[in-house]
Structure 1
Amino acid sequence: MMNKILTRTTALTLAVLAAGCVTSAPEPQAPALPKVAPEQRLAAVEAAAGQDDKELAVQPLRDPQVEDLREAASGARARRDYAAAAAALNQALLIVADDPAVLQERAEVALLQSEFERAETLARRAYDLGSQVGPLCRRHWATIEQSRLARGETENAGSAQAQIAACTVPGINRM
């Protein structure tokens, strides 16, 4: 009898130990995101902005110091020196923290630096502070769309894509 209990206990112990050695199925991996260069993402943003002669686009007066910093950032972007572009725009934002155009330019540089969450945050803030229509509005939403696509949030990117079309309002047709 004691021998039977010992045999069963040993068998049970071996079964438990064997079960501990079984490996579980590997976790399913998320599908790989398509490899898109940051420059291609920015090109999509610029294409979405477009320029329609029939559309009303308002350009505010600019602080000369801010304009110089924006030009420096533009030159740095052309040289692909995205860190210098970001630094110039950050300095401009210290002067005019709530300028939607400067915020958008900084968002685009963040996109080029593959800082996708920051790009979306800046573009969203620029949209909230600026005009809800026109080319700048489309750039905001295109930046948000590209940021979401880069992070694999395709469903959310689709909602941003829908907002791009809502940014176009034709100008007044005068006779």
Structure 2
Amino acid sequence: MRAFGLALSIALLAACATPPAPQAPTPPPVDTVALVAAVRAAAGPAEVKDELAIQPLRDPYVEDLRKQAQRAEDEHRYADAATALDQALAIVGDDPAVLQERAEAALFAADFEGAERFARQAHAVGAQVGPLCRRHWATIRTVREHAHDPAGTAEAQRQFDACRVAAPPRY
């Protein structure tokens, strides 16, 4: 009788237990390669004849590191690309192109906070016009879209549009 009472108590306690709450569906994985491709495509070609674009002189060692980062990216070794760009930034921490490339490397790693931080820093020290400027704001727009921030997305789009400045006439 005692065993029956114990079994009945256990059964009643089990019946009182609430079922586990349904788990929220996991979001689909982010295609970071497509995000970076969209950022670069949105900026348009780097060499545009009818638009103002600033091209600074480059340190040869920094250029070698940028090429190393590009090779690593081509081989899908995104962490190695980020490392090479970090080394370049240790030399020229205020180069907007290297900062933008580092922002894109952060996007490859799905580091959205880092991507926005590098892109904003690149814009702050850059010429704020031309294709590189559009890459900064396309990166920020992508991050804001990912964060479901419509106001931030709209502001990034407005800044993106302001980057297009006609080249001065040449005589």
Q: Do these two structures clear the TM 0.5 threshold for a shared fold by scoring above it?
A: yes
- Structure 2: 5+ residue stretches without partners: 1-15
Rounded to whole Å, the distance in 1 between the matches of 2:150 and 2:101 is 24
Give the alignment partner of residue 74 of structure 2, picking from 71, 78, 83: 78
Rounded to whole Å, the distance in 2 between the matches of 1:80 and 1:147 is 21
Rounded to whole Å, the distance in 2 between the matches of 1:37 and 1:53 is 33
Instruction: Give the structure with higher Rg (CA).
Output: 1
Rounded to whole Å, the distance in 1 between the matches of 2:153 and 2:26 is 17
Rounded to whole Å, the distance in 1 between the matches of 2:54 and 2:163 is 14
* Contact 1:107-1:120 within 8 A present in 2 as well: yes
**Where does residue 171 of structure 1 map in the other structure?**
167
Cα deviation code 1:46-105 (max 9, x no counterpart): 112113321122211111110000000001111110000000000000101111110000
Pair 1:142-2:155 in alignment: no
TM-score in terms of structure 1 length: 0.78
**Where does residue 39 of structure 1 map in the other structure?**
33
1:40-59 maps to which residues of 2 (within 5 A)?
40-51=34-45, 52-59=48-55
Pair 1:87-2:79 in alignment: no
TM-score in terms of structure 2 length: 0.80
**Where does residue 124 of structure 1 map in the other structure?**
120
The RMSD of aligned alpha carbons is: 2.1
Rounded to whole Å, the distance in 2 between the matches of 1:171 and 1:82 is 35
How far the C-alpha of 1:36 sits from its partner, in A, is 4.2
The percentage of counterpart residues that share the same residue type is: 54
Indicate the SS of the match to 1:56. Answer: coil
Rounded to whole Å, the distance in 2 between the matches of 1:123 and 1:33 is 25
Indicate the SS of the match to 1:169. Answer: coil
Indicate the SS of the match to 1:94. Answer: helix
Runs of at least 4 residues off by over 4 Å: 31-36
Aligned length: 149
- Structure 1: 5+ residue stretches without partners: 1-20
How far the C-alpha of 1:153 sits from its partner, in A, is 1.8
**Where does residue 147 of structure 2 map in the other structure?**
151
The residue type paired with residue 57 of structure 1 is A
The residue type paired with residue 50 of structure 1 is G
How far the C-alpha of 1:110 sits from its partner, in A, is 0.2
Rounded to whole Å, the distance in 1 between the matches of 2:27 and 2:40 is 22
